[in-house]
Structure 1
Amino acid sequence: MSKKNIKIGTRGSKLALWQAEQVQAAISGAFPHLTVEIEIIKTKGDIILDVALSKIGDKGLFTKEIETALINGEIDLAVHSLKDLPTELPEGLIIGGMLPRGEVRDVLISKDGRKLTEMTENDRIATSSLRRKAQLLHFNPNLTIVDIRGNVDTRIQKMKDGHCDALVMAGAGIIRLGYEKLITEFLDPTVILPAVSQGAVAIEIREDDEFIQRVVDAVSDELTWQTTMAERWLLRTLEGGCQVPVACYSEPHGSQLKLTGLVAGLDGKTVIRKTVDCSLDEASEKAIELAQAILDEGGREILDSIRTV
């Protein structure tokens, strides 16, 4: 290996930096002779904080500026929450690898310690995700769902300031920031199916950079790769994105996988949910078939109606 310095591009939030530092530590551990630096890059999603995510448009919202720097050679690799990464990447870029997946489930954080089953129509539950909103309303149509933006700390402070009575967020981020004690409950996937590839950290690289690919191969987790790639194939087949109520959860058991996919109407009244059991080796193929089955059983009509809103 001839290259001595590697530059990682990332967003500047606490969580994004945590993820980048994990990649930095993994690479430094595997290749002690390399100097690994982190460069913070602001994205559109970091700058526009007063508009609901569903109204901004989601393609590359938290990734485009970082990917531009990667394409231009200003950084050597980019670190993202995999769930923020569109299924179609810019030409010349690929997902080079992934760290071992963290907590997959969503969590509820409430001001007074009440669980989801104890929430009433008078309680305001905050989320920025249409996926969470639709499933919360399906679970209890009487819930009041309000929008919220900002990083984890900002959202927690907004709750304390009275913006809402409870938050629903990805458990991985809460745990990674050391806020486990704030978690009221982990939401079972039968209640809130997680986002596609939730809890996974992706390392994006240039397709033709063989040196960086060898570096990333040394720190990448194969099981995370197999499970999340299957989920991303489901999302790609559904032509969904961050701001469409699509969810998928792959639960590995040895060499087998239980794959569940979901499409929901915005009001939560209609939910198409299907599950398939398969081997890890055929997971991506089965994910595509699962997505087609969801589309054929009403998912296509749901998604078409949302896209015309």
Structure 2
Amino acid sequence: MSDFLNSSSSVAAQLAPKRLVIASRESRLAMWQAEHVRDCLKKLYPACDVQILGMTTRGDQILDRALSKVGGKGLFVKELETALEDGRADLAVHSLKDVPMVMPEGFDLACVMAREDARDAFVSNDYASLEELPKGAIVGTSSLRRESVLRAKFPHLEIVPLRGNLDTRMSKLDRGEYQAIILAAAGLKRLGLESRIRNCLPFDPYTPAAGQGALGIETLSKHPNIKQWLAPLNDLATLYAVSAERMVSRQLGGSCEVPLAAYAQWKDQQMDIRSFVASTDGKSFCLATGNAKVNSVAEAEALGLTVAQDLIAQGAENLIPKIAK
């Protein structure tokens, strides 16, 4: 995956695209992400006609069941991949935490853009923090990872599933169905809703999901020229960090069915990573951290593999029967 980092900008300029179509979900956040990529591409290639193909995915349609029960986050990307395969679109923009850890044959994660705030956010109309919530207060979250931490720290709260796009989730809170909800801070900030955040939760213990806050762009493997055009949009620090995170998740069967967290930071050639696997009831945790000098995707993935092996050695497989062996 690192070869595109060395792409020649002069060659890319000579072969500048004339037209590109971006496949995107139609939620307001997904469209913001697609429009952001469109605007970046227009700055790189002013003569290029960049269009957005909005689509509704099965993940958007099935709102009455938890993702872990209906196929996981891959439900948010399959229709977009079909649009790539049949030529209706050239690239697909995803929240990276929704992208399966193993890319389907014929598809590439061609670009990883700069990360927004990776933290989880506490949102409530009546309470300033999780600690202020009274016994029996209803807290909504779509994540088994968040649920496991909340159950461990606040057994007196009622943790319930929360599905729908960001606007739908906020509406449910505003209607009084929940006393608080936990969302990714990145989405709220991207949509100008930062004022709704009461506080951002600390990485310890609220470690994010692999790739949280980052944007990934998917293309077909048979179109290396598109990957080359996207190369200037790559952010090296984010790429290295999410490569380590996704390796941990890949080794541990990461999906919506696994309460798994992985977050890495890369600065001055040093990478720190923290990861945990938990039981869904929050009663058991395996936690691992790592630190190493990292100067390539391969080295980042090697650190991620070491952390995953540490978790497995602690008994993570006993917590999650479906972990990939």
Query: How far is the alpha carbon of 1:59 from its aligned partner?
Result: 5.4
Residue aligning to 2:173: 159
Q: 1:117 to 1:191 in 2, by over 3 A?
A: farther
Q: Which amino acid aligns with 1:64?
A: K
Residue aligning to 2:63: 49
Q: Which amino acid aligns with 2:157?
A: L
Residue aligning to 2:30: 16
Residue aligning to 1:78: 92
Contact 1:227/1:250, CA 8 A, preserved across alignment: yes
Name the Cα RMSD after superposition: 1.4
- The superposition leaves residues 174-202 of structure 1 with CA deviations (integer Å, 9 ceiling, x where unpaired) of 11011111101100011211011100000
Residue aligning to 1:195: 209
Contact 1:11/1:41, CA 8 A, preserved across alignment: yes
1:180 is aligned, of 182, 189, 194, to: 194
Q: Tell me whether 1:289 sits opposite 2:306 in the alignment.
A: yes
Residue aligning to 1:146: 160
Query: How far is the alpha carbon of 1:75 from its aligned partner?
Result: 0.5
1:96 is aligned, of 110, 115, 120, to: 110
Q: Which amino acid aligns with 2:55?
A: I
1:1-309 equivalent positions in 2, closer than 5 A: 1=15, 3-58=17-72, 60-281=74-295, 282-304=299-321
Any stretches of 5+ residues in structure 1 without a counterpart? none
User: Identity of aligned pairs, percent?
Assistant: 39
- State the distance in 1 between where 2:289 and 2:16 align: 47
**Secondary structure at 2:271's aligned position in 1?**
strand
Q: How many residues align?
A: 307
- State the distance in 2 between where 1:305 and 1:227 align: 25
Query: How far is the alpha carbon of 1:32 from its aligned partner?
Result: 0.8
- The superposition leaves residues 29-68 of structure 1 with CA deviations (integer Å, 9 ceiling, x where unpaired) of 0111111000012111011111122211215110001011
Range 107-116 or range 6-15, more displaced: 107-116
Contact 1:23/1:99, CA 8 A, preserved across alignment: no
**Secondary structure at 2:272's aligned position in 1?**
strand
- TM-score, with normalisation over the residues of structure 2? 0.91
**Secondary structure at 2:171's aligned position in 1?**
helix
- State the distance in 1 between where 2:130 and 2:281 align: 18
- The superposition leaves residues 93-127 of structure 1 with CA deviations (integer Å, 9 ceiling, x where unpaired) of 10111111111000000121320122232211101
4+ aligned runs moved over 6 Å, structure 1: none
- State the distance in 2 between where 1:288 and 1:201 align: 23
- State the distance in 1 between where 2:268 and 2:256 align: 29
- State the distance in 2 between where 1:244 and 1:255 align: 30
Query: How far is the alpha carbon of 1:305 from its aligned partner?
Result: 7.0
